[in-house]
A and B are shown apart, each in its own frame.
Chain A
Amino acid sequence: MFSQTRINNLMRLLRIFLLHFQYLLSHPSRSFVFIYTYTFLSLLYLAFIRGVFLQNGGDLGGWTLSSVSSYYFLIIVAPALLMTHPEHPVLRDDIENGELSGRLLKPFSYYWQRFFHELPYRLFQGLIATIIFIVLSVLFNNYIEFRLSVLQVMLIVIMLPLAYMLSFTFKMILAITGLWTTDIRGARELVEILIIIFAGFIVPVNLLPGILENLAYFLPFAYMIYFPVVAVQGQLSVNALMSVISVQILWLSILYLLFRKVWKKGLMRFTDLGH
């Protein structure tokens, strides 16, 4: 298991990761724009929801003013860490600017090339967002009570990378559709809106009206953001955590197989038409 070649390979991947991290650090301002925007947005949603709560007597659907505030603070961290955006470099650099050819000829899977490109951004932005989260919690005097058992923590530790890979694989499929038509604005905007609704950005998923709530449990988006957030808040029992993880694994398998199919088709098209 810990053979020399395995270790060498891991070291190599680590060095590749670090080189990509260097690349991110050459233009850090972009990350900051995203984070500040999401922070502001989340706070606006929170202000609005707060108004609703107060008119309703301080309680709604199992949420208190305090827990819903933590939710919106965590909704700043969750996308920074878990919502991937590989579609931007894929569409802009690889497909539009023609860098795809070069990448195809590297002895390194395209999927993983893009993975290593994206990961540093998530870790970097996740770190900054966490700092913002701590600051907000202190400012508003609104703390999460971490009443999690060891088992719960372990399950959450499994859930987070699954959520990440779910988001990444899904977005890669979306990105690859750019091989068929260079303008996928429609698809992207549609997905954006689906994510905003069903991942729990506007309101926690369990507060969505009936049909939408059920749909949310069926689609993969809630498993990318919403469930990790409420899990960290301690709202999921061990059983619930295990259910969520099973659905994540199920969706991940489906999406990964779908990706391979779409990628193969996309490559045939790319190699058919040339560029």
Chain B
Amino acid sequence: MNKYFLVGKNLVSEIFTYRLNFVMWRVRMILSLLTIYFLWSALIPEGRELFGYTNSSILTYIILVHLTYSFVVASRSYAVGEDIIQGNLSNFLLKPFNYFTYLFSKDVGDKFMNISLTVIELSILFVILKPPIFIQTDLLLLLLTALSILSGIGIMFFIYVLLGSIGFWSQEVWAPRFIFFTIILNFFTGFLFPLDILPKPIFDFIQFLPFSYLLYFPVKIYLGQMAIDQILMGTSISLFWVVVFHLLLKKVWTKGLQIYGAYGR
């Protein structure tokens, strides 16, 4: 297990090596939060209500989503695609460890960094903006939140690696990743807005997709805004996706490794 810990540690070292780049990346995260925060503030000023949300409830949602983002979405596991295309995968295949466990350890390193920094940044923002904070006290709900976050982490990891796996078949790995980050992440995960503001038929449809379980679902459980039967259904669908992706990944990689040419530039 030691070697995986080292991997996570090395990742953190790597990140510190690119200092300026690192700072800008954090600024970007903060900017993204502030912008969405301000846009919603402008849309729903104090005393108004829109789509069933008030100023304080939407702000609470946005902040919690950003915090959850650093747990679930922040990762560089999609870089698998580059490893495949540039032939670096060969190095990993030849080492005496499991490539996926390696990827996941890297992920954990990344997330750990992200969470620590997000907590620091959010604390500073709390002091400046003084948004409404909500502390959940119901232990069962907290447990269910934790469970849904873990499930979300799993789904995200598989999605990233599957997106990267396209590298076995095509040079244009960037295309699906691009589509994922510009459209799906923004609109289908609950990142820009809480999914329940969508018209019911669309909302019902989205609940069967894996994406809402990355951000919207955990946050809603935590806020206590989900009925127990909804939580149960959501959890089942979420776990279902984890299993489906796991099986899919296995299949895709078996096939992919067969045609992997170990080329490099």
**Do B24 and A187 touch across chains, with their CB atoms under 8 A apart?**
yes
Apart from the given pairs A186-B26, A190-B31, A211-B38, 19 other A-B contacts in the complex at a CB distance below 8 Å: A34-B178, A37-B179, A37-B182, A37-B183, A41-B182, A51-B51, A52-B50, A55-B51, A181-B21, A183-B18, A186-B22, A186-B23, A186-B25, A186-B27, A187-B21, A187-B24, A192-B28, A193-B35, A207-B42
Mostly, the A contact residues are: helix
Given known A-B contacts A37-B179, A186-B28, A212 and B35 have beta carbons under 8 A apart: yes
A146 contact set on B, CB distance < 8 A: none
Interface residues of A in 158-194 (CB under 8 A from B): 181, 183-187, 189-190, 192-194
Residue B183 contacts which of A40, A192, A208 (CB distance < 8 angstroms)?
A40
Interface residues of B in 8-40 (CB under 8 A from A): 18, 20-28, 31-32, 35, 38-39
Interface residues in B, total, Cβ within 8 A: 31
**Do B51 and A189 touch across chains, with their CB atoms under 8 A apart?**
no
Mostly, the B contact residues are: helix
Interchain nearest-CB distance for B59 vs A (Å):
13
A5 contact set on B, CB distance < 8 A: none
Interchain residue pairs with CB less than 8 A apart (20): A30-B172, A33-B178, A34-B178, A37-B183, A40-B183, A41-B182, A48-B193, A51-B51, A55-B50, A186-B24, A186-B25, A186-B26, A187-B20, A187-B21, A189-B28, A190-B24, A190-B28, A193-B35, A207-B42, A209-B39
**Do A186 and B35 touch across chains, with their CB atoms under 8 A apart?**
no
Enumerate the 4 nearest inter-chain pairs by beta-carbon distance, A residue then B residue, closest first.
A186-B25, A186-B24, A209-B42, A186-B21
Measured CA separation A185–B23 after assembly (Å): 11
Interface residues of A in 52-76 (CB under 8 A from B): 52, 55
Interface presence of B90 (CB below 8 A) = no
Interface presence of B207 (CB below 8 A) = no
- B interface residues (Cβ-Cβ under 8 A, vs A): 18, 20-28, 31-32, 35, 38-39, 41-43, 50-51, 172, 175, 178-179, 182-183, 186-187, 193, 197, 265
**Do A202 and B39 touch across chains, with their CB atoms under 8 A apart?**
yes
Interface presence of A203 (CB below 8 A) = yes
| Most chain A beta-carbon contacts within 10 A, residue among B21, B50, B178 | B21
Residue B25 contacts which of A29, A30, A185 (CB distance < 8 angstroms)?
A185
Identity of the chain B residue whose Cβ is nearest the Cβ of A207 in the assembled complex: B42
